Structure 1
Amino acid sequence: MACRVCDGRDVELFLDLTDQPHCNRLIPPELADRREPHFPLRAGFCHDCTLVQIDHTIPKESMFSDYPYVSGTTKTLVEHFRQTAARLVERYGLGPQDLVVDIGSNDGTWLRQYEPFGLRRCGVEPASNVVELARAAGVPTVNRFFNAETAELVRAQDGPASLITAAGVFFHLEELHSVVKGIVTLLKPDGVFVVQAIYLGGMIENTAFDQIYHEHLCYYTLRSLEQLFARHGLEVFDVSVVPVHGGSLEAHVGFPGAHPVSDAVRRMRADEEARGYGTFETYLGFAENVRRLQSALLDLLERMHAEGKTVHAYGAPAKGATLLNAFGIGPRLVQYAAEKNPLKFGRLIPGARIPIVEEGSVPAPDAYLVLAWNFIDEFLARERRYLENGGAFIVPVPELKVITAADLPKAA
């Protein structure tokens, strides 16, 4: 395969998570007796530019034109966007004259956080069902995929952007180079593109293999991200790791010379080199850690099943479908998935075929398998009474552990 960033041909596979269905194409009950399409889910490493990527692309129109994920259902994420918006407004001195454009804006959760500052806002989102939610909340939203053509349209409509953002979407991009060309087109000469993407370094350190799925085509380090932007005349001038989603890379990108390059960029380059993120052996070790986790989790679930204990999934996130399907976990070991998002109620997790039910609609199990482990602190606070009544949380990532009431901090 050709590398998605540098077009090099030296991409070597290191992890095969088996053929899997599209993780967010939830199964309605009337199709429960049909096998959905499955596609290879394999990760590879480019020896030329160090980008980690999957080798099979499901067309974006199939994955994103109708979408069951909405940003606003998780308090942790809403608060993260509120704090990030305030930080960016202050840092770059933004005001009512400035335009902020959010790529993959979903239900407008991030853009809503700019309302107190009076910024002009424009979301770009391909999923028509969540565009309706955004517009109902007062967020102007263009119902299109973001690319070079869409950027021209937005610029003609609203003018150039002082700030362009993309959170949790940048690794989704099938039209990767067209998207970056669009950012170049839309950005003011001194404007800033701020991207937040799950950090490959965090994935490695946490064995967070479940963040690999068909929607996520690329997995970035600073080094591979810089290679992409350099091809289009942009540079990363600041970088950090923010805690959301188990560790996300936040890169601030602009035209060369428009902003001074921070010491944080040089420090992260050196840290990535020291940790071996540019060597293939690191990823072979990552794959071995995944197999060890698989063995430990299956042993635990089989033991609980033999003891007659019930286990439900806590949430039905996309990453959960990766874990369940890669490890061969279905309704024999995990009977239900409890969800807050009404777009998912009554459906089945693809592949695994575990029924998704509304939280509280079925009796609580002996233990919950926490698939959205990146929000574990929020869940522990919400479910303290469940744990105090003898329940347990099985947290598979970053390492397998079982949390009970004995592990909770004492109530104030």
Structure 2
Amino acid sequence: MSVAPTCRLCAGPVHQWMDLGRQPASNSFPRPDETGAERFFRLAVGICADCTMVQQLEAMPTDHMFRADYPYRSSTSDGLSRHFEEVAGWLRRTELTGHTDLVVEIGCNDGVMLGALGAAGVRHLGVDPSAGAARDAALRGAEVRVSFFDEAAAIAIRAERGPARVVFSANTISHVADIATVFRGVDRLLTPDGVFVFEDRYVGDIVEYAYFDQIYDEHFYLFSVRAVDAMATRFGFELVDVERISIHGGSLRFTVARPGARPRRDSVTRMIDDEARYAIGEYETYRRFARQIDRVGTDLVALLTDLRAAGRRVVGYGATSKSATVTNYCGIGPDLVPFICDTTPEKQGRLSPGMHIPVRPHAAFVDPYPDYALLFAWNHAEEIMLKERRFTAQGGRWILYVPQVHVV
């Protein structure tokens, strides 16, 4: 009988519920002459029987995922830009009310939020390992330290700038397999009454709506409220608030503070109770999810194969990180999807990770329009479909695969 792997957080037994096979670094996008140097790993996912944290069983090394040329940019989405500008306003109203207050953002990317705070005169610092993203953030007026965030970085930041009233992060904390290093850094940096606020995708929504492509190398953990509550306690903090937000198809905003520093809001207990009601912490819930993933993959390949046989032209829309999971798990290559269009210059002229589908500029989508567009960026569907009204007006159809394969 094999021994279950142990949880990265509490050392409890982790039971595998899905294996999505051999997967590449989801944001690698090699040039045509670089395909032989790609790094792959086994994307298997399990749930801890003790703390219920959903986690990958193997970790892609962080220096393979977050390189100097990391191509993702938050500002390419109007919806994300608006969201982070709203977050900046919310922080100014609620936490950053003193003229000397400091906010540190972990994984600031191209500085959409920090640029808004800097323009308002708020003391700030971003921490991001991507030199390219940091350069773009600087163009927005944001101050960035190019490094990973850990205890050593936090000590250096505090020595240079003093303690932080707020440590903020969006869609980053779940990326760090050794998450204890983050909490040690937060402990070093945060004021006694400060808060650590982080947003991340919610595993409850991922299961309910079959967002299986939210599982890829960067999303080492999939957070539930119960698991984050246990995680915060384990590292000497307390989860004091949780709020649902719509970004990325369904996310949560967690607020963590030092024990006793803030009152614990009813939202935490309420959501933990809801998770128990819907069995979010149960192994069998995830096994059912795995079977649903299998059905989606089979149906998507069947649809694309039938469209090819009928002479229909299908192209991909949005060379997202998520698309790596879909294409590699389902075996979708250039024979079924000749190219993916994307507006990010850093991805254009390159190939999709693993399956090597060419990535082309948006101009390739409109000249001429395809018969069908496989929407990998489904979390921005409303924004994209509004932008591409002419495509649908000329008879174009969208293929989506969550929560099931369907055509609109």
Q: TM-score, normalised by structure 1?
A: 0.95
Answer yes or no: is the 8 Å Cα contact 2:101–2:122 preserved in 1.
yes
Which residue is equivalent to 2:383?
378
Aligned pair 1:44/2:49, yes or no? no
How far did residue 299 of structure 1 move? 1.7
Q: Distance between the aligned counterparts of 1:260 and 1:102, measured in 2?
A: 24
Paired amino acid for 1:176: I
Answer yes or no: is the 8 Å Cα contact 2:151–2:181 preserved in 1.
yes
Q: Distance between the aligned counterparts of 1:246 and 1:50, measured in 2?
A: 22
Aligned pair 1:294/2:297, yes or no? yes
Instruction: Supply the RMSD in Å over aligned alpha carbons.
Output: 1.3
Picking from 333, 338, 354, the partner of 1:335 is 338
Picking from 11, 19, 35, the partner of 1:7 is 11
Paired amino acid for 2:221: C
Answer yes or no: is the 8 Å Cα contact 2:127–2:146 preserved in 1.
yes
Q: Distance between the aligned counterparts of 2:207 and 2:226, measured in 1?
A: 15
Picking from 197, 200, 217, the partner of 1:197 is 200
Q: Distance between the aligned counterparts of 2:390 and 2:187, measured in 1?
A: 51
Paired amino acid for 1:65: R
Answer yes or no: is the 8 Å Cα contact 2:18–2:45 preserved in 1.
yes
Paired amino acid for 1:152: I
Which residue is equivalent to 1:209?
212
Picking from 383, 391, 395, the partner of 1:390 is 395
Q: Distance between the aligned counterparts of 2:253 and 2:305, measured in 1?
A: 40
Q: Distance between the aligned counterparts of 2:19 and 2:289, measured in 1?
A: 12
Aligned pair 1:130/2:161, yes or no? no
What SS does the corresponding residue of 2:217 show, helix, strand or coil? coil
Answer yes or no: is the 8 Å Cα contact 2:25–2:353 preserved in 1.
yes
User: Structure 1 stretch 143-152 or stretch 128-137: which is displaced more?
Assistant: 128-137
Paired amino acid for 1:201: G
Answer yes or no: is the 8 Å Cα contact 1:95–1:118 preserved in 2.
no
Paired amino acid for 2:53: L
- What CA deviation, in whole Å up to 9, does each residue of 1:4-60 have, x standing for no partner? 11122x11111111111111111202235x373321011011101101111111211
The within-5 A match list for 1:193-272 is 193-272=196-275
Answer yes or no: is the 8 Å Cα contact 2:118–2:142 preserved in 1.
no
Answer yes or no: is the 8 Å Cα contact 2:96–2:102 preserved in 1.
no
Answer yes or no: is the 8 Å Cα contact 2:29–2:347 preserved in 1.
yes
How far did residue 92 of structure 1 move? 2.6
Paired amino acid for 1:375: H
- What CA deviation, in whole Å up to 9, does each residue of 1:224-252 have, x standing for no partner? 11111111211111101100001111111
Q: Distance between the aligned counterparts of 1:135 and 1:116, measured in 2?
A: 12
Q: Distance between the aligned counterparts of 1:272 and 1:280, measured in 2?
A: 13
- What CA deviation, in whole Å up to 9, does each residue of 1:254-304 have, x standing for no partner? 112211111111110100010101110000011011011112212211111
Answer yes or no: is the 8 Å Cα contact 2:151–2:184 preserved in 1.
yes
The within-5 A match list for 1:45-84 is 45-66=47-68, 67-84=70-87
How far did residue 347 of structure 1 move? 0.4
How many residues were matched structurally?
401
What SS does the corresponding residue of 1:286 show, helix, strand or coil? helix
How far did residue 116 of structure 1 move? 4.4
Aligned pair 1:369/2:374, yes or no? yes
Give 5+ residue unaligned stretches, structure 1.
Answer: 404-412
Give 5+ residue unaligned stretches, structure 2.
Answer: none
The share of aligned pairs that are identical, in percent, is 39
Paired amino acid for 1:4: R
Which residue is equivalent to 1:356?
359
Aligned pair 1:399/2:404, yes or no? yes
* Structure 1 residues 97 and 35, CA gap change in structure 2 (3 angstroms): closer
Answer yes or no: is the 8 Å Cα contact 1:317–1:371 preserved in 2.
yes
Q: TM-score, normalised by structure 2?
A: 0.96
Paired amino acid for 2:383: E
Which residue is equivalent to 1:181?
184
Picking from 286, 309, 321, the partner of 1:318 is 321
How far did residue 124 of structure 1 move? 0.3
Paired amino acid for 1:37: R
User: Structure 1 stretch 106-115 or stretch 268-277: which is displaced more?
Assistant: 106-115
- What CA deviation, in whole Å up to 9, does each residue of 1:320-340 have, x standing for no partner? 010111111111111110000
* Structure 1 residues 121 and 402, CA gap change in structure 2 (3 angstroms): same
Q: Distance between the aligned counterparts of 1:169 and 1:163, measured in 2?
A: 16
